[in-house]
Structure 1
Amino acid sequence: MWCGQVPLMDISSSAANQCRNENDSVRDVMRGFVTDTQRTLDEAPLSRTQIIAIALTALMGAVDGYDVLAMAYAAPGITEEWQINKATLGIALSSGLAGMAFGSLTLTPLADEFGRRKMILAVLAVMGLGILLTAFSRSVTELSLLRVFTGVGMGALIPIIAPLAIEYSNVHRRRLALAIMTIGFPLGATLGGFAAAALLQYHGWHSVFLLGAAATLGLLVAAYFWLPESPAFLIARRGPRALELYNDYLRRCGHEPALQLPAPNAEGPKHSSYVTIFAHRQWTVTITLAAIDMLYLMTVYYVLSWTPQLIVDLGHTSAFATMAVSLGAMVGVLASLAIGLIGINVPLRWITAGLMTGLSITTAAFGIGGFSTMGLVLLVAVTGTFLYGGTTAINGLIVNSFTVDSRATGAGFVMGVGRLAGVISPALAGFLFTAGLQRPSVSVMISLCTLMAASLVLFSRQLRSVQGDLERS
């Protein structure tokens, strides 16, 4: 019996070893297959699904660009109809930006918890309803409150779609994908501005908001049917249906499904996303970016909010002012694309600082004035180049400074703090104008903010490790 058991023990041991080896081989195959699916998404040419998704982020940026500027387009008509002074107008202009700051800070972390797609649909619904109701407002107070409500959605939209654009892209086109998303804002300002100028010639300021509502609600329907969840989010969060949704995305892109989710690039956060963006070594980058964005947007929102009214004050019509601003946005589209194409071999910090410096100079020049009609149009166009190109560049720095699992939260915090400047800047300018300061003084003062932002971008030690290389995100 004893001798007969020895072979049995050897057979059992051999079978167990063989089984373990086979299991290891299966795991190796599965691991390799999973790695291959991720590598396929990173290396394969963009599919139609990915191109449509990136295009939708650009259209969302366009809707956001139009909605942000809708109040500026309508401002001359509102001032004339309701007979309000510039201080009151400044508060009305700032009200939507206050909502944007709140939305950036409170809603964007939910995109890191529950998904990019769900939050995009929610904020588009808020924006569409808010801008529709704004068209029927009957007082400055009512209009301002509705702009706050609309702004909550607008504030969350860009911080969510900025990382989403690069998460849809392959590894070679991420910076270009971000640039395409970013050109949506000036594109919406351009096309929407021309449309608003035409509407203002034959209809009242209410029509400006009705157009924005129709565009936003139409995009909500398109996003519901054609916008997939971010594959990077599914990998990072690994929810109950993550593998199912990830495989659905792979199939829509024309690839084979995965047996299991790829391993995330980094361990997911053990705490909330806000804790992550203020963790050791990360908090200094977060605070520095927030300070830069706030200083930069002090000038940006002064230019966006007050340029139409200041052009009217120079003796031009509201339609001319709107078309001039739209031309500046059109040139900004080209500048944003240029950032995506030529910025690959140039440090993004240098590009950002240069564009910010240019915006500071042109804003001061606009205040000093003395331009002919053609000179004014050219100045607005050059300003658009620096403004929208700088926005593309700073967005690149922001989204590349945070990991996937906290990217929307980080972008939302930085942009939310920045948009506090959007609240302050138009209202501050309105009070300064009402107090008797003239356009040259106010413009030069506010232009200095962007010059300080450029200095921080160029010389800040915290940002030297941020290369802006989205290909390695």
Structure 2
Amino acid sequence: MEAFESRREPLDVRDIIDHARVSCYQVMIGVLCFFIVALDGFDIAIIGFIAPHVRSDWNLSVISLGPLFSAGLLGLMMGAFLSGPLADRIGRRGVLILSVVWFGAACLASAAAPDIVWLVALRFLTGFGLGGAMPNAITLTSEFSPERRRGTLLTLMFCGFSLGSALGGVVTAYLVAAFGWRGVLVIGGLLPLMLVPVLWFALPESVRFLALGKGNDARIAAILKRVAPDRAAADRRYLTSDERASDSPVARLFDPDYRRGTLLLWLAFFMSLLLLYMLINWLPFLGARAGLSLKQASVFAGLLQGGGVLGAIVLGILIDRFDAYRVVSAAYLVGAAAVASLAVADSALWLAAGIFVTGFCVSGSQVCANVIASGFYPTSSRATGVAWALGVGRIGAIVGSFGGALMLSAGWSNAALYLILALPATLSAAGIVFAGICRARTAAVSPDADVAMELNGAEAGS
């Protein structure tokens, strides 16, 4: 009788993942998501580096490049807003794979664009797929990561985006000479399509998502045997301490427990991505105006993402050990000072150092903001919470892209641009720190398991 009761006792999938060692299977999931976001970052970044060549081929004005940059970002925004709720309804795996197919095919088609109108339209479609891939890669990795290592594992995975963006700049500088700007888009489309078969056979569904439904016990057990073989069993029921929300995942973001924090996270994402995308898209032009060659400007822009890679790793380790909200807000403030210092840079070394520190603090903090968002919401609305924060951030990216075009066309100096860009970083810091205060207040009055367990990295790692 005792054995029968033990067999029927349900197991909490989150508890199994949190208390098990990180397995090779979880590392494999993180590596696959790393490649997805790396290709995501590559496809997003290349448009900024091929834009001067597109402009030259088609005799375009500087301001006409604004729609080219913004079309992809608009697609990213729409893809994020639609993919998050869909992934919370039908699962993360299917939406993620479909997104990779979509942006790969659309980028490949962009190489055949006959004019700027077609290129803008196809960049929008490319962005739509990219917008669905990133938040679901973040969510899937988060839900397979133990709480005590979530910050480190997620930031290591998301370094793929910064690495892909950096390679997009450095590699494009050499590929354009050999294959032209259309050849760069062909490569940007073929690489994700080549990854799809691997994802189809190797990528699992989130067990935390599966545990919200019924009839998935055998599927959950098969996956967990590869995560924690000593704790998974085929004859047990599986559940999660999260409850499936009765309302829509979007409505959950505006529950009294989450409403203020949601708006503050959106402020941080909006301002952070406004700053990053203005720099990503326009830094080659700013470098050229400062007297650098296009190749030198591309390398300088690569420093932004290179700093982001190192910053994400260092800050990811720190948020597993200290309060995540304080670490990230402090890094944003240092980033604000770094970007402002570019206004008075009087040497190439100073400019390079300032760009690197800006990338370390701002791009690295944006990665950690994704980690914060993934732990801010329960499983039933996690994909939506991450995706919508990124979607709002894409609105900021569009504003940054158009704003850069308008300010350059209006004759703003490099120094004036760098000074004004310190403001978004400062506001991002404010959004994160006040979101942390809202989170702490919610934890003090709510018994919700996610709030109690995921308040900050320090508690999780203790």
Whole-Å Cα distance in 1 between the matches of residues 186 and 339 of structure 2?
31
Match among 161, 177, 180 for residue 204 of structure 1: 180
Shift of residue 262, structure 1, vs aligned partner: 2.1
Q: CA deviation at 1:270?
A: 1.0
| Residue equivalent to 1:408 | 383
TM-score scaled by length of structure 2? 0.90
How far did 1:342 drift?
2.6
Equivalence for 1:353? 329
CA distance in 2, matches of 1:363, 1:208: 30
* Residue 400 (structure 1) shift: 1.1
1:228 is matched with 204
Please give the secondary structure, in 2, of the residue aligned with 1:252.
coil
Q: Secondary structure at the match of 1:107?
A: helix
Residue in structure 2 matched with residue 30 of structure 1 by the alignment? 7
Matched residue, 2:367:
392
Q: Distance in 2 between matches of 1:377 and 1:468?
A: 34
| Deviation sequence 1:1-25 (CA, Å, 0-9, x none) | xxxxxxxxxxxxxxxxxxxxx4xx4
1:16 match: none
1:401 counterpart letter in structure 2: F
The structure 2 residue matched to 1:454, chosen from 429, 443, 448, is 429
Distance 1:70 1:370 in 2: 27
Residues 206 and 414 of structure 1, relative CA distance in 2, 3 Å threshold: same
Task: State which of 215, 222, 226 in structure 2 corresponds to 1:252.
Answer: 226
Q: Aligned pair in 2 of structure 1 residues 370, 264: CA closer, same or farther (>3 Å)?
A: closer
Contact 2:319 2:458 in 1 (8 A): no
Distance 1:470 1:126 in 2: 39
More displaced stretch, 206-215 vs 407-416: 206-215
The question of whether the paired residues in 2 share the 8 Å contact of 1:351 and 1:393 is answered with: no
2:68 matches 1:92:
yes
* Structure 1 counterpart of 2:394: 419
Counterpart residue number, 1:148: 124
Higher alpha-carbon deviation: 394-403 or 205-214: 205-214
Residues 1:125 and 2:113 are matched in the alignment:
no
Counterpart Cα distance in 2 of 1:346 and 1:46? 21
Report the CA distance shift for 1:470/1:135 in structure 2 as closer, same or farther (over 3 A). Answer: farther
Instruction: Indicate conservation of the 8 Å contact 2:77/2:131, yes or no.
Output: yes
Aligned to 1:436: 411
Distance 2:404 2:433 in 1: 28
Residue from 107, 111, 131 that aligns with 2:87: 111
Identical columns (%): 25
Alpha-carbon distance in structure 1 between the residues aligned to 2:358 and 2:331: 10
Residue 52 of structure 1 aligns with which residue?
Answer: 28
Aligned to 2:447: none
TM-fit CA distance, 1:289: 1.1
* 8 A contact 1:102–1:416 mirrored in 2: yes
Aligned-partner SS, 1:69 = helix
CA deviations over 1:251-280 (Å, ceiling 9, x no partner) = 333624332432221221112111222222
Deviation beyond 6 Å, 4+ runs, structure 1:
none
**How has the CA–CA distance of structure 1 residues 351 and 312 changed in structure 2, closer, same or farther, with 3 Å as cutoff?**
same
2:364 and 2:164 map into 1 onto residues whose CA distance is: 15
The Cα shift of 1:31 comes to 4.7
Matched AA of 1:78: V
Report SS of the residue matched to 1:209: helix
Q: Check whether the contact 1:396–1:468 (CA below 8 A) recurs between aligned residues.
A: no
Contact 1:288 1:462 (8 Å CA) reproduced = no
Q: Which residue of 2 aligns with 1:362?
A: 338
Deviation, 1:221, is: 2.1
With over 3 angstroms needed to count, the CA separation of the structure-2 counterparts of 1:53 and 1:471, relative to structure 1, is farther
Deviates more, 1:316-325 or 1:39-48: 39-48
Aligned Cα RMSD in Å? 2.2
Aligned twin of 2:296: 320
Letter in 1 for 2:457: D
Extract unaligned runs of 5+ from structure 2: 442-450
Deviation at 1:463, TM superposition (A): 4.1
| Offset of residue 471 of structure 1 | 7.4
- Distance, in Å, in 1 between the alignment partners of 2:360 and 2:353 is 11
Partners of 1:96 and 1:471 lie apart in 2 by: 39
Q: How does 1:143-222 map to 2 (within 5 A)?
A: 143-222=119-198
Q: Which residue in the other structure is 2:44 paired with?
A: 68
The corresponding residue for 1:13 is none
1:274–1:116 distance in 2 versus 1, CA, 3 Å: same
Return the letter of the residue paired with 1:265: S
Question: Which digits, 9 at most, give the CA deviation of each residue in 1:120-154, with x for residues without a partner?
Answer: 11100111011111122122211111111111111
Corresponding position of 2:53 = 77
Q: Is the 8 A contact 1:173 1:471 kept in 2?
A: no
How many residues matched? 446
In the alignment, the residues of structure 1 paired with residue 438 and residue 205 of structure 2 have an alpha-carbon distance, to the nearest angstrom, of 32
C-alpha separation in 1, matches of 2:258 and 2:126: 32
Distance in 1, matches of 2:17 and 2:330, equals: 34
Distance 2:433 2:458 in 1: 19
1:248 partner SS: helix
Which stretch shows the higher mean deviation, 299-308 or 172-181? Answer: 172-181
1:199-245 Cα distance to aligned partner (Å, 9 max, x none): 1233311222122112211222221121111111111233x4x2232
1:66-108 per-residue CA deviation (whole Å, 9 max, x = no partner) reads: 1111111111211222222221112211110011111111122
Contact preservation (8 Å) 1:200, 1:319: no
Q: Does the 8 Å contact 1:101/1:152 carry over to 2?
A: yes
Distance apart, 1:424 and its partner CA = 1.4
Q: For residues 118 and 244 of structure 1, what CA distance do their matches in structure 2 show?
A: 19
Task: Point out the more displaced range, 60-69 or 199-208.
Answer: 199-208
Residue type matched to 2:408 in 1?
Answer: F
How far apart, CA to CA, are the structure 2 residues paired with 1:433 and 1:355? 28
Alignment-mate amino acid for residue 220 of structure 2: Y
Does the aligned pair in 2 maintain the 1:457–1:463 contact within 8 Å? no
Asked if 1:338 corresponds to 2:314, the answer is yes
Deviation of residue 345 (structure 1)? 2.2
Give CA deviations for 1:348-404 in whole Å, capped at 9, x if unaligned: 1111112212222233333x2543233322222222211221112211221111001
Return the offset for 1:40. 4.0
Q: Give the match for residue 249 of structure 2.
A: 273
Structure 1 residue identity aligned to 2:386: A
| Structure 1, 250-259 or 448-457: larger mean CA deviation | 250-259
1:225 to 1:146, Cα distance in 2 relative to 1, 3 A: same
Q: Deviations over 1:428-460 (max 9, x none)?
A: 220122123222223322331221221232245
**Structure 1: gaps (5+ residues):** 1-21
What does residue 420 of structure 2 align with? 445
